[in-house]
Amino acid sequence: MPTVTVGQENDADIEIYYEDHGAGQPVVLIHGYPLSGRAWDKQVPVLLEAGYRVITYDRRGFGKSSQPTSGYDYDTFAADLRALVEHLDLRDAVLVGHSMGTGEVTRYLGSYGSARVAKGVLVSPIPPYLLQADDNPDGVPQGLFDGFAQAARADTPAWMKGFLDNFYNIDTLRGTLISDQAYQASWNLAVTASATAAVACIQTWTTDFRDDLPKIDVPMLVVQGDADQVLPLDKTGARLPGLIKDATLVVIEGGPHAIAWTHAGKVNTALLDFLRG
């Protein structure tokens, strides 16, 4: 298995699993909670066919990557991404994140700059700042995140089921845009996440990215569904064009959080148009 070592816990290496296919301009796909690089199964073949080199990887704690009990914060996640980018010596790369993965893209560009990056894409984004605060009154109260973490800790499989219900808007899209089999595959993958990661990642959703956004100096595409039940459009993606120098927002009508699966055709069209533009 191709991996890059990003640290150690006790005497064991912490390794990030990745897949690297094709040739051409590199596109790095960064998945959301609680899945893995397999979340991009409807994008990878399309990008390869269009002539791009496509790299996916599993965040620490998920998929085939190591499951350490530390490092579940965006400074570490961005450092893991940087280690992979430098290990593969990527140049002129496009960083594409979904959900939690948009935090890696944003923090990477805010911390390490764009020397190796040509463009960025934020699908169903978590920036700019979800947490309710004096200077962010329209955010989400801390108590909601605490309740999520408590539920995840008490019964992770049940928590994952409830999360994925909202992830796919299962109440309205089941049997049409999301099959029972695809939903089950996501749950099967979700419950392989480490017990630590399943809980610890929830508090990272309150990360403040507002200082990172003005530092982004490459063109950015934001793609989000207007029926996103996990990260509502008005609290996230709709705010970004005013905070990033060069950002284009594409809103997908009726799209849930998991638009890369349910509305793959529209997401892929927006992505390819942006890559070629």
Q: Which of 65, 99, 124, 194 is catalytic?
A: 99
Whose tokens are 């923090």? That residue is: 107
* HSE-up (13 A, CA, CB side) for residue 198: 22
Q: Which of 58, 80, 212, 228 is catalytic?
A: 228
Active site residue 87: no
258 Cβ contact partners less than 8 Å away, ≥ 6 residues apart: 124, 167, 168, 178
What is d(CA 50, CA 41) in angstroms, rounded to the nearest whole number? 15
Calculate the CA 115 to chain-centre distance. Answer: 21
Active site residue 99: yes
Pick the closest to residue 121 from 139, 136, 100, 106 (CA basis): 106
Q: Which of 31, 98, 257, 263 is catalytic?
A: 257
Laid out side by side, the sheet with 12-21 consists of 3-9, 12-21, 53-57, 26-30, 93-98, 117-123, 220-225, 247-252
Whose tokens are 């709709």? That residue is: 238
Identity of the residue numbered 1: M
Positions of E strands within the chain: 3-9, 12-21, 26-30, 53-57, 93-98, 117-123, 220-225, 247-252
Active site residue ranges:
99, 228, 257
